[in-house]
Structure 1
Amino acid sequence: MTGKPRRRLLADTTPLREPHYRRLWVSGVVTVIGAQLSVVAVPQQVYEITQSSAYVGLTGVFALVPLVLFGLWGGALADVMDRRRLMTITTIGLSVTSLLFWAQAAAGMANVWVVLGLFSVQQAFFAVNQPTRAAIIPRLIPGDQLPAANSLNMTVVQFGAIAGPLLAGVLIPTIGLASLYLIDTVLLMATLWAVLALPALPPTGHTTKAGLRAVLDGFRYLSTQKVLLASFVVDIVAMVFGMPRALFPQIANETFGDPVTGGVALGLLFAAMSAGAVLGGVFSGWLPGVRYQGRAVVACIVLWGLAMVGFGVTVGLASPGDSAIFLWVALGFLAFGGAVDMVSAAFRSTMLQQVATDEMRGRLQGVFIVVVAGGPRMGDVLHGAAAASVGTAVAAAGGGILVVVGVALACLAFPMFLRYRVGEGRASDSVAR
C-alpha cells in the first residue's frame, strides 16, 4: 500500500535505463554546476567593475541578440545536420569561451565591454547547443517517457543552479572570479565525453539548408500550432516581467549586507529558485497524470508572479537590524517560485516535444530556447532599468503583478490553451537505440 503513492509522488527514473540518455543526464550534473558558477560570475564581475544594476541589466541586451539570431539558426541547423556533430562543435565552443573568460579575469583587465563581448559569444554557442540537445532526447527515448525525462533534466539543471551559486558565494571571496571561469572550462569536458558517446543522429526531414527559408518554415509551422504558440507567450510574460535576478547583486549588497565584491547572500539569492525547483523535480512523479497541461502551466505562472510580489515586498520591508530574517523570507518566496516554474517548464517542454514532428522539432526548439533564455535576458534589462528609477523592491514586486495581469490577458487571447489535454496532436518518432 505504501509503495504506490511513493511511485506517484517521487520522480520517475525510467528514462535513465537508456544508456545514451543516462550519460547525457549524468554529465549534466557536473557541467551545470560549472555553468552556474559563470552565471553568478558574469553579473558579479560587471557589478564589481561598474557598481550599477543598470550595467548588470545590460548583460541582457548582449545576451538577447545572439540568443535570438543563433537560437533560430541553431534550431534550423539541428534539422539539417547530424545532431551529435552539432553538439560536439558547440560544446567545444562553450569551453573555449569559458577559457577566454578566465584569461581576461586572471589578467585583471576590469573592462566591462570585454566581459559583455565574451558573454555574447558564449550565448551564441549556447543558443545553438540547447535546441540541439532538446531535439535529441525524443530520438533516444519513447514518447510516453518524455514528461519524466524533462522533469529529470530540469532537476539536474536546478541542482546545478543551487550548488553553483552557493559555491560561487563561498569561492568568490577566497579564490576569485578567474578560478570560477576556469572550473567551468574543466567541467565542460564531461558534456563533451557524453556527446562523443552518442550514436549518429542524422536529419529525418527533407530540408537540406539551414537558411532563412528554413527558419521561416518553422515560424509558419508554429503559427498553425496555437497551443505551442500560447505556451511561448505565457512564458515570455513570466520571464520578462517576473525574473528579478539582475537585481540580486544590488539587493545582496544594499539590503542584506554583502560587500560590493560579492558574498554568501548573493549566492543564496541566485540558488534559492533552483532549490525550490529541485524539490519540485524530486516530487514530480504526479506530472504524467496531469491531463490538462495548459491549465497547469497557467496556474503555475500565476503562482510564480505572486511569489515575485512577495519577494519584492520582503526586500522593501527589510531593515539593517533584522535583515537576516527578511533574507530567509525572501529566499522562501524565490524557492516557491522556482518550484512552480519547474512544473511549468516540464509541461511546456513536453507539449513541444509531443506536438511537433521530428522534422520541425529542431526549429521549434530554437524558438523555445529564444523564449526560455531570451525572456529572462529581456527581464534583466527591464528590471535593471526599473531599479535605477524606482528601487529594487518596487521593481521586483511590480514585475510580479504584471505577470498575473499578462497571463490573464494571454488566456483571453488563447482560450484553446486552457482546453489542451496531454497527447493531443502527438507526433510519432522512432527511438534510436
Structure 2
Amino acid sequence: MPDSETPSTAGRRGHLIDLTPLRVSPAFARLWAGNAIAGIGGQMTIVAVGLHLYAITGSTFAVAMVGTIALLPMILAGLYGGMLADAFDRRAVALGSAIAAWLSTVGIALVAWFEVEQLWPFYMLTTINSIAATVIGTSRAAIIPRLVPRELLPAASALSGVSMGVMVTVGPALAGILVATVGFGWTYTIDVIMFSAAFMGILTLPSIRPEAGAHPPGLKSVVQGIAFLRRAPNIRMSFIVDIVAMTFGRPHALFPAVGALVIGGGAVTVGILTAAGAVGTLLCSLLSGRLGTVRRHGVAIGWAIAVYGVFVAGFGVVLAVLSLGGFERATESIAGANVLALVLAAVMMAGTGASDNVSAIFRSTMMQTAVPDNMRGRLQGIFTVVVTGGPRLGDLYVGAISLAAGLWFPPLLGGLLIIALIALCMRATPSFRAYDALNPTP
C-alpha cells in the first residue's frame, strides 16, 4: 500500500470528486452505498416522527423532547460503541447495532399502523434508534481505514459528505411528500425497507478485528482512550476547533423566528435555510477532487473554520441589515419572504455547509491516519460526543444571546468569535499548524 501519491498522480486530479475509493475497494463501495440508502430512510423517519408527534399533541415541546431524551444515551453510546469497536470484530459490532436500529424502526412503523397515540413508545423507540445509529457510525468510521488506502482517505471522507448531503436534502423532502400522500405508517415502512440496504454493506465485509491486540471492554478501556487524547495534541485540537465552530456558529435554532419575524416566509424560509447548508455540503463534496493533494491538514482545518466563521457572521449581517430597514420591503416576495434577503441568507448558510465539510474531511482523515488502529474506535467515540454535544451548546448560546439582543446578534458575534478563537488555537498549537499528511502524528 503506497504511503503517498506521486506528484504526477496528484497533478492529474481534477476538481470533481475523486471516485477512486469506490473503484479500488468494492467493500467500501458497498458500505458507502448501503449507508447512503439507509440514511435517506433514516432522515425520513426523523422528520416523520416530528410531524407525527405534532399531529398527536400540537406541541413543539413534545417534538423537541425527542432529541432531548436521546442526547445523554447517544453520548454514552458513542463512548461505549467506540470501546466495543476496539474490543471486538468491528463488522460484528456494526451488524448487531444495525439489527437493533432496524428493529426499532419496525417498532415505530407498528406504532403508526396500530394508531397508538401515547408518546412514550415514540420516545423509547427513537432513543433506541439513536443509540444504535451512533454505534453504527462509530464502528463504521473505525472500519473505513481498513478498507481504503491511506492516501485515498480524504476522497473517502468527501464521498461521505456527498452521502450526507443527499440524506439531509432528499430524506426530509420525501418524508413531507409521503406523509402528505400515503400517511405515517407507509412512510415508516418504506424506511424499514430502505434500511435493509445497510445490511448489504455490512454483511459483505470481512472480519475486522483491531490490529495489535484487542483491549478488554470496560471503564478502564474508556479511560485509556481519554488518556491517549491527552497525549495527542493534534487530535485534541481537531476536537477543540470543532467545538468552537459548533458552539458559536449554529444559528439553526433561530430559523423559525427568522422566518416569522425578520425575513418572512415562515416554514418556507425555514426549509430553504435548512436545506441550503446541506446543498453547500453536497456541492463542496462534488468539487472536492483537489483536496486529496493537500498535505497540511491542520492549516487547512484552521482556514476552513475561519471561512465558516465569515459565513456565519455574514448571515448575521444579512439579518441586521434587514432588521434596520435595508433590503427594501417592496422587493418581490415568496410566501411573504423578502427574496433578496432570503437568497443572501441561503448563500451564507450554503457557505457554512461547504466550509464545514472541508474541515470535516480533513479532521476525519487526521483521525483515521494519525490514531493507532487499536485506539481508533474509542477516539471516534469521543469524537461522536464532541459532534453531538457541540450543536446543543450552540442552541444554548443562540437562545441565551438572542434574549438580550436582536436575532442578528448571535450569528454576527458568533462568527467573529470563531475567527478570533481559531486564530488563537492555531497560534497556540505549532504541531497542529505543522501537521503533514505524509507523516501523520496524533
TM class, shorter-chain normalised? 0.7 to 0.9
Shift of 1:64: 3.0
CA contact (8 A) 1:103 1:178 kept: yes
Shift of 1:176: 5.1
SS in 1 for 2:368: helix
Q: Which of 124, 133, 151 is 2:131 aligned to?
A: 124
Change beyond 3 A, Cα 1:118–1:377: farther
Count of residues in correspondence between the two structures: 420
Matched, 1:209 2:224: no
> What residue in structure 2 maps to residue 13 of structure 1?
19
C-alpha separation between the residues in 1 aligned to 2:181 and 2:270?
15
C-alpha separation between the residues in 2 aligned to 1:366 and 1:164?
26
Q: Which of 279, 284, 294 is 2:283 aligned to?
A: 279
Q: Deviations over 1:332-386 (max 9, x none)?
A: 1111111111111000011111101111111111112222233223323443555
C-alpha separation between the residues in 1 aligned to 2:98 and 2:112?
22
CA contact (8 A) 1:56 1:246 kept: no
Q: Which of 385, 390, 398 is 1:370 aligned to?
A: 385
C-alpha separation between the residues in 2 aligned to 1:22 and 1:198?
11
Give unmatched runs, 5+ long, in structure 1: 428-433
Shift of 1:409: 3.4
CA contact (8 A) 1:165 1:267 kept: no
> What residue in structure 2 maps to residue 64 of structure 1?
71
For 2:170, give the aligned amino acid.
Answer: A
Change beyond 3 A, Cα 1:252–1:186: farther
CA contact (8 A) 1:57 1:384 kept: no
C-alpha separation between the residues in 2 aligned to 1:65 and 1:365?
17
Instruction: Using the aligned pairs only, state the percent identity.
Output: 38
C-alpha separation between the residues in 1 aligned to 2:248 and 2:67?
13
CA contact (8 A) 1:56 1:384 kept: no
CA contact (8 A) 1:60 1:379 kept: no
Change beyond 3 A, Cα 1:246–1:224: same
> What residue in structure 2 maps to residue 431 of structure 1?
none
C-alpha separation between the residues in 2 aligned to 1:182 and 1:397?
43
C-alpha separation between the residues in 2 aligned to 1:296 and 1:81?
34
C-alpha separation between the residues in 2 aligned to 1:62 and 1:47?
16
Shift of 1:208: 4.0
Shift of 1:412: 3.9
CA contact (8 A) 1:31 1:191 kept: yes
Q: Which of 307, 312, 315 is 1:311 aligned to?
A: 315
Matched, 1:342 2:342: no
CA contact (8 A) 2:83 2:378 kept: yes
C-alpha separation between the residues in 1 aligned to 2:185 and 2:366?
40
Between 1:179-188 and 1:131-140, the stretch displaced more is 179-188
SS in 2 for 1:286: helix
Matched, 1:421 2:436: yes
For 1:62, give the aligned amino acid.
Answer: I
Matched, 1:109 2:117: yes
Change beyond 3 A, Cα 1:310–1:282: same
Shift of 1:14: 1.1
> What residue in structure 1 maps to residue 326 of structure 2?
none
CA contact (8 A) 2:39 2:167 kept: yes
Change beyond 3 A, Cα 1:125–1:383: farther
For 2:224, give the aligned amino acid.
Answer: D
CA contact (8 A) 2:263 2:342 kept: yes
C-alpha separation between the residues in 1 aligned to 2:421 and 2:183?
41
Matched, 1:30 2:45: no
> What residue in structure 2 maps to residue 328 of structure 1?
343
C-alpha separation between the residues in 1 aligned to 2:118 and 2:300?
45
C-alpha separation between the residues in 2 aligned to 1:210 and 1:258?
52
C-alpha separation between the residues in 2 aligned to 1:56 and 1:413?
42
CA contact (8 A) 1:169 1:267 kept: no
> What residue in structure 1 maps to residue 165 of structure 2?
158
CA contact (8 A) 1:87 1:195 kept: yes
SS in 2 for 1:198: coil
For 2:150, give the aligned amino acid.
Answer: G
Change beyond 3 A, Cα 1:398–1:102: farther
For 2:18, give the aligned amino acid.
Answer: D
Q: Which of 410, 417, 422 is 1:402 aligned to?
A: 417
Change beyond 3 A, Cα 1:43–1:249: farther
> What residue in structure 2 maps to residue 146 of structure 1?
153
C-alpha separation between the residues in 2 aligned to 1:266 and 1:232?
29
For 1:75, give the aligned amino acid.
Answer: G
Change beyond 3 A, Cα 1:103–1:270: farther
CA contact (8 A) 2:426 2:432 kept: yes
Shift of 1:7: 2.9
Q: What RMSD over aligned residues (CA atoms) do the two structures have, in Å?
A: 3.0
Shift of 1:234: 0.3
Between 1:275-284 and 1:207-216, the stretch displaced more is 207-216
Q: Deviations over 1:75-111 (max 9, x none)?
A: 0100111111111111122222233444555636374
Change beyond 3 A, Cα 1:6–1:142: closer
Q: Deviations over 1:298-349 (max 9, x none)?
A: 1111111221222234345276755233222221111111111111100001
Q: Which of 210, 228, 241 is 1:234 aligned to?
A: 241
CA contact (8 A) 2:259 2:337 kept: no
Q: Which of 364, 367, 370 is 1:352 aligned to?
A: 367
C-alpha separation between the residues in 2 aligned to 1:405 and 1:114?
45
Structure with higher Rg: it is 2
For 1:15, give the aligned amino acid.
Answer: P
Q: Which of 210, 221, 229 is 1:222 aligned to?
A: 229
For 2:22, give the aligned amino acid.
Answer: L
CA contact (8 A) 1:31 1:184 kept: yes
Change beyond 3 A, Cα 1:360–1:305: same
C-alpha separation between the residues in 2 aligned to 1:13 and 1:198?
20
Give unmatched runs, 5+ long, in structure 2: 1-8, 324-328
C-alpha separation between the residues in 2 aligned to 1:408 and 1:184?
44
C-alpha separation between the residues in 1 aligned to 2:187 and 2:396?
25
